[in-house]
Amino acid sequence: MDQIDYIEFPTSDRSATSGFFRAAFGWGIVGFGPDYDGLEGAGIDGGVDQAANRVAASMAVIRTEDLDDAERRVIKAGGVITRAQYDFPGGRRFHFREPGGNELAMYVYVDRPE
- Residue 74 CA to its chain's centroid (Å): 17
AA identity, residue 101: G
Mean pLDDT of 45-53: 94
pLDDT at 112: 59
At residue 50 the predicted structure's pLDDT band, cuts being 50, 70 and 90, is very high
What is the share, in percent, of the chain residues with pLDDT greater than 70?
A: 97
Alpha carbons 76 and 112: distance in angstroms, whole number: 28
Give tens-digit pLDDT for 57-69: 999 999 999 999 9
CA 13: distance to chain centroid?
A: 17
Q: Is the pTM of this model over 0.75?
A: yes
Confidence category of residue 94, pLDDT binned at 50, 70, 90: very high
Give the integer Cα–Cα distance in Å for 82 and 69.
Answer: 17
R_g (Cα) of the chain, nearest Å: 14
Quickly count: other Cβ atoms within 10 Å of residue 52's Cβ.
5
pLDDT single digits (tens) 79-93: 999 999 999 888 999
Q: Which domains does the chain have, with CATH numbers?
A: 3-109 (3.10.180.10)
Predicted confidence at residue 89, as pLDDT, reads 86
pLDDT bucket at 114, cuts 50 / 70 / 90: low
Annotate 40-97 with three-state secondary structure: ECCCCEEEEECCCCCCCCCEEEEECCCHHHHHHHHHHCCCEEEEEEEEECCEEEEEEE
Tell me: pLDDT of 113 over 60: no
